[in-house]
Chain A
Amino acid sequence: MRYLLRRVQRLAIVLAAVTLVTFLLVNVLPGDVAYEMAGINSSEEEVQEIREDLGLNRPVLVRYWDWVTGVFTGDWGQSFVNKEDVWETIVHRFPVSFELMLLAQLMALAMAVPAGMICAFRPDSTADKIIGGIAFASVSMPSFMSGILLIYFFSLNLGWLPATGYEPLSEGLWANLKPMLLPALSLALVEWTILMRTLRAEMISVLQEDYISLARAKGMSNFRILLGHALRPSSFTMLTILGLQVARLLGGTVIIEQIFGIPGIGRLLIHAVFTRDYIVIQGCVTFFALVFVAANFLVDVAYAWLDPRVRNERLSHG
Chain B
Amino acid sequence: MADLTSQGTAGKTPDTTDAHEAALLAYARKKKLSPFLYLPVAWLVFVILLAVFAPWLGLWPADEIDWVALRVPPGANEAHPLGTDHLGRDMLSRLIYGARVSLTVGFAAPAIGVGFGMVLGMAAGYWRGWIDEVVGIAIDSWLAIPGLVILLLFALVFGGSLFMVCFSLGLLFIPTAARITRAATMKFANREFVLAARALGASDLRILVREILPNVIWPLIAFILIDIPIAIVIEGALSFLGLSVKAPTPSWGGIIAEGREYLETAPWISLIPTAVMFTTVLSFNLVGDAIRRRMADVRESQV
Contacts and interface: CB of A to CB of B under 8 A. Distances in A.
Interface in B119-151: 137-138, 140-141, 143-149
A200 B233 contact: no
Interface stretch (A54-62, A166-174, A209-217, A251-259): A251-259
A150 to B, nearest CB: 11
A145 B277 contact: yes
B7 A201 contact: yes
Contact of B285 (A15, A139, A281): A139
B267 A247 contact: no
Contact of A30 (B5, B154, B156, B267): B156
B8 A144 contact: no
B141 A145 contact: no
Interface string B229-272: 10001001100110000000000010010001001100100110
Interface stretch (A70-78, A177-185, A286-294): A286-294
Interface in A253-274: 254-255, 258-259, 269-270, 273
Contacts of B263: 148, 151-152, 156
A15 B224 CA distance: 29
A123 B278 contact: no
Contacts of A201: 7-8, 10-12
Contacts of A140: 229, 278, 281-282, 285
A194 interface: yes
A145 B141 CA distance: 30
A91 interface: no
Contact of B148 (A15, A255, A292): A255
A198 interface: yes
**Central interface residue in A21, A201, A241, by most chain B CB within 10 Å:** A201
Contacts of B156: 29-30, 273, 276
A160 interface: no
Given A17-B138, A136-B286, A273-B156, A250 B8 contact: no
B76 interface: no
Interface in A222-258: 237, 241, 247-248, 250-252, 254-255, 258
A124 interface: yes
B66 to A, nearest CB: 25
Contacts of B4: 194, 197-198, 241
Contacts of B236: 142, 144-145
Interface in B15-53: 15
A309 interface: no
B291 to A, nearest CB: 15
B157 interface: yes
Contacts of A194: 4
Interface string A197-210: 11011101100100
A176 B143 CA distance: 33
Nearest to B138: A17
B241 A270 contact: yes
Nearest to A132: B12
Interface string A16-32: 01100110011011100
Contacts of B270: 148, 152
A144 B237 contact: yes
Contacts of B240: 144, 255
Contacts of B153: 22, 25-26, 29, 273, 281, 285
B201 interface: no
A293 B4 CA distance: 20
B292 to A, nearest CB: 13
B14 A28 contact: no
15 contacts: A14-B137, A17-B141, A28-B157, A142-B281, A144-B237, A145-B236, A148-B271, A149-B274, A202-B11, A250-B149, A251-B147, A254-B149, A284-B149, A285-B149, A289-B144
Given A136-B286, A251-B148, 20 more contacts: A10-B140, A15-B144, A123-B12, A124-B14, A136-B282, A140-B281, A145-B274, A149-B274, A152-B267, A156-B264, A156-B267, A251-B149, A252-B148, A269-B149, A270-B241, A273-B153, A273-B156, A284-B149, A292-B146, A293-B144
Interface of A: 10, 13-15, 17-18, 21-22, 25-26, 28-30, 123-124, 136-137, 139-142, 144-145, 148-149, 151-152, 156, 194, 197-198, 200-202, 204-205, 208, 237, 241, 247-248, 250-252, 254-255, 258-259, 269-270, 273, 276, 281, 284-285, 288-289, 292-293
Interface of B: 4-5, 7-8, 10-12, 14-15, 137-138, 140-141, 143-149, 152-154, 156-157, 159, 229, 233, 236-237, 240-241, 253, 256, 260, 263-264, 267, 270-271, 274, 277-278, 281-282, 285-286, 289
